[in-house]
Amino acid sequence: MRGVRRAVAPLLAVTVALVLADSAVVTLALPDILRHLDTSVGQVAWVLISFNLVLGLLAVPAATAFERADPRILGALGIAVFAATSAWCAAAGSIEVLVVARCLQALGGALALVGCLELLVAEYDERRGVAAWITAGVVGTAAGPVAGGLLTEAISWQAIFVVQVPFAVLAVPAALAARPVVPDATPQRHRPAVWPNVTLALLSAALTAALFLVVLLLVEGWGRSPATAAVTVSVVAVAALASAPLARLLRPAPAVEVAVGCFLVAGGLAALALLPSAHLGWTVAPQALVGLGLGLSVDRLTVQALELRLPRARHAGWTIGARHVGVVVGLAILTPVFTADLQDAQVPAQEAITALVLDAPLEPQSKIAVARALGDELVGEEGRVPDLSGAFARLDLAPDERAAAADLERALDEQLERAATRAFRDSFLVGAGLALLALLSVLVPRRRGTP
Partner 1 sequence: MTARAAALPALALVLVAAVLGVQLVQGGGRFEPLRPADPCVARDVTSQVDGIEGLTERLVLLGVDAAACDLRVGREALTLELAQREPTDAQVEALHDGLIAAVGRMRDDGTLPPASALVDEALDSADLNGLLEAAIRALPDAVVDAALKTDDVLVRAVDGLDLRELLASLDDTDDLNRQLEAAITRAVQDSLEARVRDLI
| Residue nearer to partner 1 on the CB measure, 188 or 354 | 354
Candidate list 3, 42, 187, 276; residue touching partner 1; CB under 8 A: 276
Q: Would you say 126 and 204 are in contact if contact means Cβ atoms under 8 Å apart?
A: no
Q: Is 383 in the site for partner 1 (CB under 8 A)?
A: no
Q: Quick one: which of 190, 143, 169 has its CA closest to 310?
A: 190
What region does 30 belong to: left with phi over 0, alpha with psi -120 to 50, or beta?
alpha
Q: Would you say 437 and 199 are in contact if contact means Cβ atoms under 8 Å apart?
A: no
Candidate list 1, 182, 253, 393; residue touching partner 1; CB under 8 A: 253
Candidate list 270, 385, 405, 408; residue touching partner 1; CB under 8 A: 270
Q: Is 418 in the site for partner 1 (CB under 8 A)?
A: yes
Q: Would you say 56 and 324 are in contact if contact means Cβ atoms under 8 Å apart?
A: yes
Sole window of 11-19, 124-132, 217-225, 348-356 interacting with partner 1 (rule: CB under 8 A):
348-356
Measured distance CA(419)–CA(346) in Å, rounded: 8
Candidate list 41, 73, 355, 406; residue touching partner 1; CB under 8 A: 355
Sole window of 107-115, 188-196, 321-329, 416-424 interacting with partner 1 (rule: CB under 8 A):
416-424
The least CB distance from residue 359 to partner 1, in Å, is 8
The site string for partner 1 over 132-171 (x = CB under 8 A, - otherwise) reads ----------------------------------------
* Cβ-proximal residues to 48 (8 Å cutoff; 6+ apart), any chain: 24, 26, 27, 30, 212, 331
Candidate list 422, 428, 433, 442; residue touching partner 1; CB under 8 A: 422
Measured distance CA(276)–CA(332) in Å, rounded: 28
| Residue nearer to partner 1 on the CB measure, 42 or 399 | 399
Q: Is 260 in the site for partner 1 (CB under 8 A)?
A: yes
Please provide residue 101's backbone torsions phi and psi, each rounded to the nearest 5 degrees: -60, -40
DSSP 406-446: HHHHHHHHHHHHHHHHHHHHHHHHHHHHHHHHHHHHHHHHH
Q: Report the half-sphere exposure of 291 (CA within 13 A, side-chain side).
A: 25
Q: Is 91 in the site for partner 1 (CB under 8 A)?
A: no
| Residue nearer to partner 1 on the CB measure, 55 or 435 | 435
- What are the CA-CA distances from residue 403 to residues 361, 365, 410 (Å)? 10, 16, 11
Sole window of 42-50, 165-173, 207-215, 243-251 interacting with partner 1 (rule: CB under 8 A):
243-251
| Residue nearer to partner 1 on the CB measure, 29 or 292 | 292
The residues that touch partner 1, with contacts defined as CB under 8 A, are 246-247, 250-253, 256-257, 259-260, 263-264, 267-268, 270-271, 274-278, 282, 285-286, 289, 292, 345, 348-352, 354-356, 358, 361-365, 368-369, 371-372, 375, 415, 418-419, 421-422
